Amino acid sequence: MASTADFKNGITIDMDGDVYQIIEFQHVKPGKGGAFVRTRLRKFSTGQVIDKTFRAGEKVEIARVERRPLQYLYQSGDDYVFMDNQSFDQIILSKEQIGPQVKFLKDNLEVTVASHEERVLGVDLPDTIEALVVATDPGLKGDTASGGSKPATIETGAVITVPLFVNEGDVIRVDTRSEKYIERV
């Protein structure tokens, strides 16, 4: 158990049978009445962000979340197979457990899996990946970085918006959090 005085960004708490991560918090001491703590919490199971207010000194249960690196191996139907690099155990996760970032998984990619009491809470991909452009409209002479954009399909199957000068066969760096093009590699 921890009190609201122990809150820090990134701490995970167990509340109402679900695990939440504190995104941000603020201690408030109004002129009248008791102090309280405003928080923004992200629910691990759905990714939903909620606002919650706690009274100062209120006790909450700290959730022990284990994070371990895994390597993505392959997809088998709707299941995705990962391997623990220490024990070489294979772990099978569903599309729902991985979340919307599933479209950026590529073979041998190192990911971090967060779990609580043997239940997978989520999968964190690296902030950026390098991927091959497999389909896009051809670029034309005179196309510049500020001249516009076009859709492109990368090797993982994700469709992102790229500048006009990017062609099929180019390797680009993509931000997996915002799903945006960063640069050509």
Residues in the chain: 185
The dihedral region occupied by 26, where left means phi > 0, alpha psi between -120 and 50, and beta the remainder, is beta
Tokens of residue 14, six digits: 């167990």
Report the SS3 class of residue 5. Answer: helix
Which residue spans of the chain are classified as CATH 2.30.30.30?
2-62
User: Residue 24 is encoded by which pair of tokens?
Assistant: 């941000």
CATH 2.40.50.140 fits 66-124, yes or no: yes
The phi, psi pair for 141, rounded to 5°, reads -60, 135
The pLDDT, as a whole number, for residue 140 is 65
| pLDDT of the residue at 102 | 87
Tens digit of pLDDT at every position of the chain (185 positions): 888 888 888 888 988 888 888 889 999 998 888 899 999 998 877 778 899 999 988 899 998 888 889 999 998 888 899 998 888 889 898 888 887 888 899 889 999 888 888 888 778 889 899 999 999 888 666 655 556 788 999 998 899 999 888 889 999 999 988 889 999 88
Question: What's the Cα-to-Cα distance from 38 to each of 24, 25, 41, 51, 133, rounded to whole Å?
Answer: 8, 6, 10, 7, 44
Whole-number pLDDT of residue 51? 94
In 3D space, the residue among 184, 181, 143 whose CA is nearest the CA of residue 164 turns out to be 143
Given CATH 3.40.50.800, say whether it is the number of domain 2-62: no
Structural element, H or E, at residue 146? none
Decide: pTM greater than 0.75. no
Comma-separated ranges of CATH 2.40.50.140 domains in the chain:
66-124, 128-184
The DSSP secondary-structure symbol of 63 reads P
Q: What is the CATH number of domain 128-184?
A: 2.40.50.140
DSSP 8-state code for residue 137: P
